[in-house]
Chain A
């Protein structure tokens, strides 16, 4: 591998590791501004929170003993995902993409499984809500990436192609938004109803690790479609591609944050119906345009 490509992957991985808590800090600041609050003192606040949580004593509820192992496993998965994401601009093929998707879905399953271990009723209700949405959204995730990949691969400058691109982009970013578990889909936590729901029993370093993994997952869900698009569509040098991916990802991440501030929390029955309807409509539209 060329030196410049190795450097690019290294820089990109560092950005993937450093950005998520920072972006969360920025999102919190923007949210506070919209809500006429001061918000956290600095955009690094989420980083400070994570560091402080890590410094707290380790308390493991009896039912969560295996949870620590699972979280560690999830962290290993995340590192591999970040490496592969950074590698996409250098070389992308359908096999690598398949591995990335499998890893991301596995990561979601592991994070859900950690909460299922808890015997707390709020945690159980929260995680089952999360799983219900995940079942719909993971299917959407697989389909959207496939549809998006096909669209870009077969893209040509025609109205039909542009329409297909528009639908696939819409699909992939809605899936990405829902996967980020922001409002109105933060039903697994739903503070006023479930008192933190699926994360109610996490504290100290366990909460820090969970929070960090969750934020990285959020960012990767945004960055993945951008990486695919840039790698296939633009074919720039790896370093420029990687920087461009992060710039676009940051913009979209912040945009998602702004959308979340403007919405209320959904209810599990409404959320599932709405998502299924939206995904179905987009898929049908895409198929209709493709067949014309």
Chain B
């Protein structure tokens, strides 16, 4: 009890020290409010760079995400929410900046906080907010997107946007005289990760001099879709953001809503969420480990890693009913319970996975080519990791000790003890070892969680919506922290902002790539465990009728297989 009081006092001191830094700006600070570990500070746009500077130069504070929202219906302004975190105190500081609709301009903070770069570009693309004193270019929207159409503005519905813009595939097909073509929008290619990504790598001999990333080829407009769905429908959409770690998104979304509405989630549900989250981390890291070994040419390790992973997938199916995309999260709890028989089976599987993975790691890491190509390649210094506000194993591999499970405890993590593996070397080997250690740590956490599952309800009976409340939900995904920031609406989220860890980590890849050998490029890119988009679709164009049909790529694949038979 006494430690809780001491913590609260320390927290208050920390908050007041932050506020004292901000309060200097006096008449430009419109209000400060504190609730549920979130300190909301409303400031005038003119002082944003100065306040950001104050926060950025305070040790232990980093920019976690930024949400731009169209609130013209409410207060006649656009609003920017800059979310900063103080890990050691478990506090989020939200700087709220109102941007008048008649003059949507705001000073940039990129020169102060490098991590703000993509957020500002995205806000410019999606809401038309001008950031002063920086170069603005399209990041998210395609090149041929109509001018002055900002998809996240409330006047555009999803249907309007679909009428306003379709890829000009038919016109192009006619132009090239194709009668019947199949367009596979996998974009610029590379066989390494089997996802749409494009790195322009400039090499001298085989040495990389510079690298440029071009992304956002499959922007699915999920945030906009979520604004038209009921609160309990969104978790199913959120889970489809990622094909590997979707559960972190539904959990993060639910936590954001629960935090905004002050909903108490039953302890049993919190344990179930943590259990599934850790299972997801194990299978994701095993997948990554296999891919990394494949990129190093050690396919035997790749196959065995995925063989071991298969047991974890079967375990996930046992506990949730699905190998992936579990669909058990709802606001206020979970939809599916686990019983003692499942707990017993889960422990058996985990013991087996632990033994087999230990053997695999011992063998793989000692393969001469594997160790030679991991060690000292793709180095990311700690300073860069801090400047870019990196997260997850990418940050921890450079010595930046940051983990949401410990720093902003959620679900059942406050009830168990665990270690956060950190390595200071910053190379590909360090990032690999962080993930390897995390697999064993997750197994250890699962033993504790499965042992301590309390009895009781798994979801709250009902909850009521209070509109225009701000909620933050963050979860430590296998790739780093996922943050969902949400402004509640009456029936649906008014604004829902999703920030996946790859968004934060990708800018670091160019730094890692400089000076590496071409042979190590795929591995270095993979070392942040990037997750782009996993839901590509093929478009079949019927020129005669000017119709575009979207069909799953698997269908084409099956068709191809049948043709061969």
Chain A contact residues, CB within 8 Å of chain B:
34-37, 125, 183-184, 186-187, 190-193, 195, 261-270
Contacts and interface: CB of A to CB of B under 8 A. Distances in A.
B518 A264 contact: no
Given A125-B518, A267-B372, A269-B517, A192 B303 contact: no
Contact of A265 (B190, B303, B369, B518): B369
A184 B373 CA distance: 12
Contact of B191 (A34, A35, A192): A192
Contacts of B519: 187, 190, 193, 265, 267-268
A191 B520 contact: no
A193 B367 contact: no
Interface string B284-301: 000000000111111111
Contacts of B303: 35-37
A34 B298 CA distance: 12
Interface of B: 190-192, 206, 293-301, 303-304, 307, 367-370, 372-373, 517-522
A126 to B, nearest CB: 11
A263 B370 CA distance: 8
A264 B303 CA distance: 13
A184 B520 CA distance: 14
Q: Interface residues of A: mostly helix, strand, loop or mixed?
A: loop
Contacts of A267: 369, 372-373, 517, 519-520
A122 to B, nearest CB: 10
Contacts, number: 75
5 contacts: A36-B303, A192-B297, A265-B298, A268-B206, A270-B372
A263 B304 contact: no
Q: Interface residues of B: mostly helix, strand, loop or mixed?
A: helix
Given A34-B300, A36-B303, A125-B206, A264 B192 contact: no
In the A-B complex, the 5 residue pairs with the closest CB atoms: A265-B297, A264-B369, A264-B298, A35-B303, A264-B296
A278 to B, nearest CB: 12
A35 to B, nearest CB: 4
Contacts of B372: 266-267, 270
A37 B370 CA distance: 22
* Interface-centre pick from B191, B297, B298 (highest chain A CB count, 10 A): B297
Given A36-B304, A36-B307, A264-B373, A192 B206 contact: no
A192 B299 CA distance: 11
Given A37-B303, A184-B369, A192 B295 contact: yes
B300 A261 contact: yes
A228 B86 CA distance: 73
Contacts of B367: 262-264
B206 A264 contact: no
Contacts of A264: 293, 296-298, 301, 367-370, 373
A37 B517 CA distance: 32
Contact of A186 (B190, B297, B300, B368): B297
A34 B294 CA distance: 15
B355 to A, nearest CB: 16
